[in-house]
Amino acid sequence: MQVESTPSVVREIVRTARRDRAVVGVVPTMGALHAGHVSLIERARTECDFVVATIFVNPTQFGPNEDFSKYPRTMEQDLEMCKNADADLVFTPDTSQMYTADAETVVKVTQLTSRLEGAVRPTHFDGVTTVVAKLFNITDPDKAFFGQKDFQQQLVIRRMVADLDWGIEIVTCPIVREADGLAMSSRNRYLSAEERQRSLVLSQSLQLGKKLALETAATPAEIERQMQDLILATDGVVLDYAVVLSADSLLPLQNRPDSAVALVAARLGATRLIDNQILQFR
Ligand code: AMP
């Protein structure tokens, strides 16, 4: 496995791999890797000849009062996990290699980013799309692998790729969870023991939504209300949103659709968690 921090060198390594007609896959991450990230690299390994993982804590996707400076950085362990998952190349730029002082270009998806995470974190998705566009340009992939965990993010990336006529296939991989249901996240390590216990209400609310859609005649609005009630009844959990929306557009649904996505976001102390679940209606 090669580890490289210079964009021009990465470009050259991928160009050489491409000469052998390799299908190139990229897995963008911010490091502090866990089994969810590993599942993306393993999926890329099954679908691609040359697998690039990227590790970059992207400053432009954090808001001014967010956790950029204390975001976990565990590079040595991350590289070990990439190696075990059989990545071919890990791109580990530092901030000055990704953003020159005179940079002034932003890639912006205008509408999909206005709701949910974008409403709570107004500059977040501009940072995500700009850095992912740069990572796509540097690694020139055929396929890119993202987690369903960040449901809105994978939709935003799909929009960007379609709108900019980028011939990259976006593959969305299932959410990897802890045994008790908590979606794996680099931020879970911030939780105190008590918060860790309380965090279970997020996945429980999604399970409730799944059951109501499948087993009752409840409408999306009624399901949302029951999910919200469950979360609001848990001490120490501050609800940002619990909603049931179109999985394609994130717009509200009329009546009962065939399927939808339930999305939740909540804060436990200083830690903000998100999770989601596809719902099938009976
Ligand atoms: P991050 O390092 O948090 O920016 O995440 C990098 C990629 O890993 C994103 O595509 C995430 O959606 C994905 N990811 C994060 N957590 C999980 C998880 N629990 N299961 C599957 N994918 C995940």
The pLDDT tens digits for 229-252 are: 999 999 999 999 999 999 999 999
Q: Residue 254's pLDDT band (boundaries 50, 70, 90)?
A: confident
Which whole number is the average pLDDT over 39-49? 98
CA of 218 to the centre of ligand 1 (A): 31
How far, in Å, from the CA of 36 to the mean position of ligand 1?
Answer: 6
Q: For 120-178, write each residue's pLDDT tens digit.
A: 999 999 999 999 999 999 999 999 999 999 999 999 999 999 999 999 999 999 999 99
> 44 CA to middle of ligand 1, Å?
14
Q: Is 16 exposed, middle or buried (0-12, 13-18, 19+ CB in 10 A)?
A: exposed
Confidence of residue 227 (pLDDT cuts 50, 70, 90): very high
Q: Which of 37, 43, 124, 272 is catalytic?
A: 37
Which one of 3.40.470.10, 3.30.460.10, 3.30.1360.10, 3.30.1300.10 gives the CATH number of domain 186-280? 3.30.1300.10
- Residue keyed to tokens 């991450």: 29
Give the whole-angstrom CA distance, residue 165 versus residue 246. Answer: 24
Determine the atom of ligand 1 nearest the C-alpha atom of 186. 3
- Mean pLDDT across the stretch 209-223? 97
- pLDDT tier for residue 112 given thresholds of 50, 70 and 90: very high
Pocket-forming residues, ligand 1, beta carbon under 6 Å: 29-30, 36-37, 39-40, 146-147, 149-150, 173, 175-176, 183-186
What is the fold, at CATH topology level, of the domain defined by 2-173?
Rossmann fold (3.40.50)
What size, in residues, is the chain?
Answer: 282
Atom 17 of ligand 1, nearest CA residue: 36
9: Cβ–Cβ under 8 A, 6 or more apart, which residues?
none
Q: Which atom of ligand 1 is nearest to the CA of 145?
A: 10
* Position 21 pLDDT exceeds 90: no
Its pTM stands at 0.98
How many A from CA of 86 to the centre of ligand 1? 18
| Closest-CA residue to 119 (of 240, 213, 18, 29) | 240
148, 149, 152: which to mutate for ligand 1, most atoms within 8 A of CB? Answer: 149
> Is residue 220 scored above 90 in pLDDT?
yes
Is 37 part of the annotated catalytic residue set?
Answer: yes
Torsion of CA 114, 119, 121, 123, to 10 degrees: 30
Q: Which residue lies with its CA nearest to atom 10 of ligand 1?
A: 146
What residue owns the CA closest to ligand 1's atom 7?
29
> Where exactly are the structural domains of the chain?
2-173, 186-280
The 10 Å CB-count burial string (b at 16+, else e) for 139-160 is bbbbbbbbbbbbbbbbbbbbbb
Beta strands at 24-29 and 50-55: parallel, antiparallel or unpaired: parallel
**Ligand 1 centre from 68 Cα, in Å?**
17
Q: 270-279 pLDDT, tens per residue? A: 999 999 999 9
Token reading at 64: 């001014």
Q: Where are the beta strands (DSSP E) in the chain?
A: 2-4, 24-29, 50-55, 89-91, 143-147, 169-173, 238-245, 259-268, 271-280
Average pLDDT, the chain: 97
